[in-house]
C-alpha cells in the first residue's frame, strides 16, 4: 500500500469536536467523504489550501493537524 510521509490527527480531532462524522467534515471543507477517508488512512496528502481549511474547521494551527515524517525516520 502506498502511504504518505505526511501524518495527520484528523480522526482524533473529529472525535474531540463532538464526534464529527467524516461526512460532516467533508461538507465543511468541500471534498468528498472518500477524500477524508483516504487522508485518515494516510493514502492521500491534501493540498495546502485543503490542509488550511481543515485546520480552520478544528480551529487549531496547521501543525496540530498535520506533521511531516522525514524519510530517514521511516527506516
Q: Interface residues with other proteins (CB under 8 A)? A: 1-4, 30-35, 38, 41-44, 46-47, 50
Nearer to other proteins (CB atom), residue 31 or residue 65: 31
Asked if residue 35 lies in contact with residue 44, where contact means CB atoms within 8 angstroms, the answer is: yes
Nearer to other proteins (CB atom), residue 16 or residue 67: 67
**Least distance CB 63 / other proteins (angstroms):** 21
State how far Cα 18 lies from the chain centre: 17
**Least distance CB 72 / other proteins (angstroms):** 22
> Which helix (H) or strand (E) element contains residue 27?
helix 22-29
Asked if residue 3 lies in contact with residue 63, where contact means CB atoms within 8 angstroms, the answer is: no
**Least distance CB 51 / other proteins (angstroms):** 11
The Cα–Cα gap between 54 and 72 comes to: 28
Amino acid at each position: 500500500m502506498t502511504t504518505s510521509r505526511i501524518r495527520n490527527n484528523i480522526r482524533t480531532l473529529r472525535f474531540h469536536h463532538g464526534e464529527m462524522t467524516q461526512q460532516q467534515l467533508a461538507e465543511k471543507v468541500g471534498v468528498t467523504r472518500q477524500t477524508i477517508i483516504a487522508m485518515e488512512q494516510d493514502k492521500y496528502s491534501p493540498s495546502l489550501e485543503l490542509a488550511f481549511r481543515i485546520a480552520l474547521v478544528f480551529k487549531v494551527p496547521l501543525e496540530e493537524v498535520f506533521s511531516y515524517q522525514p524519510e530517514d525516520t521511516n527506516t
